[in-house]
Amino acid sequence: MTWNILHDKVKHHLEFIYADVDLPLTIDQLAVSLMKTIGIDDEVDIAQPQSHYNYWDEDDIIMITYGDSVIDGDERPLVTLNRFLHRYCKNTVNNVHILPFFPYSSDDGFSVIDYSSVNESLGTWEDIEAIAKDYGLMTDLVINHCSARSAWFDNFVKGEGTGSDFFFTADPADDLSMVTRPRVSPLLRETETAKGTKHVWCTFSHDQVDFDFRNPNVLLAFVDIIRLYIDKGAKLFRLDAVAFLWKIVGTNCINLPQTHEVIRLLRTLIEHVDPSIIIITETNIPNRENLTYFGNANEAHAIYNFSLPPLLVNTLVSGDCKYLKSWMMSMPPAQNGTAYFNFIASHDGIGLRPAEGLLSDEEISELVHTMQNFGGKISWRASDHGQQKPYEINITLFDALQGTIKGPDRWQIDRFICAHAIMLGMEGIPGLYIHSLLGTSNDYEKVANTGQNRSINRRRWELTELEALLDSPYSQHHKVLTRLSQLIRVRKAQPAFHPNATQFTLQLGNQIFGYWRQSLDRKQSVFCISNISDEEQSVLLSDINLIGTDNWIDLITRQEIALSSSFLQMKPYQTLWISNQDFE
């Protein structure tokens, strides 16, 4: 693609985004400025991305962590994290999502004060680059809002300098009744400025002030930030809360067409710098809306599979997979060049909005009640009718799976491993939260100290304490890391677990959840079968339909499957990966 052709493509994006906005410069000038800012001009070679090309394979595993999830005395936490990764995770994960590592004022990093520097309490850019040398670095682009303590917002209050016109304001008299909110706090923050009283839009909290992307200088500022992160080694960008980016008073202000076009524009700019850089959209919204962020393989490379965590937890605590099975059957396969980002635990809680329309209100209520019995907290949001509805369950995944709706039982670790075996075999790129790899339990002390429900799943481990636990064969932490590491090792060796390999849902009743994967070259098949109940189950081999001319083994245990038997006997929460080939 020549510079002129790319320039015209960028202009096309901009003409759509700013169709109803009076700009202080021409579309042509803005296109040139954006291309120069990202590092594209007519004197350098322009990268040529391949259409519908998968820049990932079965070897890709992403670990999600805070920069200070593991600390060691006065050592910079990012240095400690790097040491921890090399000792315990080097053969397990090859990509690391370090949650916002910038100076911040609240929300554990997602209220950014300065996008261009590393929080000095974590380390330096050199520490980030050291991790990026050995792992694919995934970084957050907190693009919807920034901290009310940022220099940009200070300039907004002063009415001068960069940032003075960066923030979205509205009139309290406007009809804002349709606005979709993930929080129950007031939407507008009254702020006294040099230009009078302003009411600043705050989708999340009054410390998180929303940008106004109608101002092209905001877009230019973020393209400059993207270029910085690329230079520091970023290979994956997580667009945080991007669904709320564009606002139009009188609408619901979520998933607006301009938001999608901004993502497509960023994709165009980034992939012509480095085609291998991946964009992942974080859109904690109902499933059907979430799928739209793939575009036509020209928007997000990957989308968070937000419906998976609540559906899978519900499956394992209820002992019934009908909802999970129905959802999986409805999910369109991701076309080449796109992939699902699968996760079942993260730094946030278990979101319930993505379960809307998939689980009934009664099912959600029972799930919430069960999680509360297991020590979980509930975060709320305001519904369209002003009522409070559960928005998120705050609990570690390990404690969420300590039992069933009947109460805690002895199957906690087996149930926990079963959840990951289901997720690791599915179509998509797996993401594992560090506290899942470590089998971390609820941190009630941190909740008490911060007053924030989400702190329950954000423990900060002392390295010496953690190492002692991980090195003890009797601890839950050792057992979990050992078993998960083994599962991941097996998964990474199998072509049928390529994120875009064929997947079909199996019909094996409500206590057995199963699906079939086939490698892209059609040479390897894997039948992934899990007993999601607390009782032994029998599976008829005729229901799986294994080809009699092939030899079949369970990849996890290495045991052969005797086709002469009429059924498989499965223990509670046991998973089988039955394949005609073993590539490990």
Binding residues for substrate, as ranges, are 107, 145, 238-240, 347-348, 454
For residue 281, the surrounding DSSP H or E stretch is strand 278-281
Per the listing, tokens 């002063």 go with 158
How many Å apart are CA 257 and CA 245, to the nearest integer? 10
Q: Rounded to an integer, what distance in angstroms lies between the CA atom of residue 301 and that of residue 69?
A: 28
The alpha carbon of 465 is separated from its chain's Cα centroid by a whole number of angstroms, namely 28
Is 240 tagged catalytic? Answer: yes
Distance CA 105, CA 146 (A): 9
Tokens (6 digits) for 523: 């040479």
Residue in 71, 198, 188, 52 with CA at minimum distance from that of residue 462? 71
Between helix 322-330 and helix 308-318 the angle, nearest 10°, is 150
Beta bridge partners of 575: 530
Tokens of 323: 């909802």
Length of the chain (residues): 584
Q: Give 125's Cβ-side CA count (13 Å radius).
A: 10
Quote the CA–CA distance of 572 and 382 in Å, as a whole number.
39
Contact 487, 556 (CB under 8 A): yes
CA distances in angstroms from 554 to 321, 419, 484, 561, 574, listed in the order given: 22, 18, 16, 7, 12
Q: Which residue has the tokens 């179509």?
A: 427
Helix (H) or strand (E) holding 226: helix 216-231
DSSP 8-state code for residue 156? H
Q: Which residue numbers belong to the known binding site?
A: 107, 145, 238-240, 347-348, 454
The catalytically annotated residue of 240, 320, 399, 534 is 240
Q: Which residues pair with 188 in a beta bridge?
A: 201
In the numeric block, which tokens belong to residue 46? 């322009």
Q: Is 451 left (phi over 0), alpha (psi -120 to 50) or beta?
A: left
Residue 472 tokens read as 């003890």
CB atoms within 10 A of CB 169: 17
Q: Tell me the C-alpha distance between 8 and 31, whole Å.
A: 8
Q: What are phi and psi of 340, to 5 degrees?
A: -80, 140
Q: Which residues are catalytic?
A: 240
